[in-house]
Amino acid sequence: MFDAYRICNGIADGLDGVTIDKYAAHYQIQFFNKKMLKYEQKLVEFVKNRFSPEFIAVKYRFEDYSQIKTAFGSNSKTIVEENGCKFIVDLLDTLNPGLFLDMRDARQMFGKMCKGKEVLNLFAYTCSFGVYAKKNGASRVVNVDISKKNLNRGKENFALNDLEGEFFCGSAEEYVNWAVKKGKKFGAIVIDPPSFAKNGKKTFSVARDFEPLVVKCKDISDGVLLLATNFSQWCNGALQKMATNIGCKVLKSGTQGEDFPGLPAMVWVLASFSKLRL
Q: Phi/psi of residue 82, each to 5°? A: -145, 110
Residue 177's CB is within 10 A of a number of other CB atoms, namely 14
The 3-class secondary structure across the chain, one letter per residue, is CECEEEEEEHHHHCCCCEEEEEECCEEEEEECCHHHHHHHHHHHHHHHHHHCCCEEEEEEECCCCEEEEEEECCCCEEEEEECCEEEEEECCCCCCCCCCHHHHHHHHHHHCCCCCCEEEEECCCCCHHHHHHHHCCCCEEEEEECCHHHHHHHHHHHHHCCCCCEEEECCHHHHHHHHHHHCCCEEEEEECCCCEEEECCEEEEHHHHHHHHHHHHCCCEEEEEEEEECCHHHCCCHHHHHHHHCCCEEEEEEECCCCCCCCCCCEEEEEECCCCCC
Write out pLDDT tens, residues 148-166. Answer: 999 999 999 999 999 999 9
Q: Give the model's pLDDT for residue 99.
A: 97
Domain ranges of the chain: 4-82, 100-272
The fourth-level CATH superfamily of domain 100-272 is Vaccinia Virus protein VP39 (3.40.50.150)
User: Distance between CA atoms of 40 and 15, rounded to whole angstroms?
Assistant: 12
Please give the average pLDDT of every successive group of 10 residues along the chain, which has 278 residues: 96 96 98 96 98 98 94 98 98 95 96 97 98 98 96 98 98 96 98 80 84 96 95 82 94 94 91 80
Please give the CATH number for the structural domain made up of 4-82: 3.30.750.80
Of 51, 11, 10, nearest to 27 by C-alpha is: 51
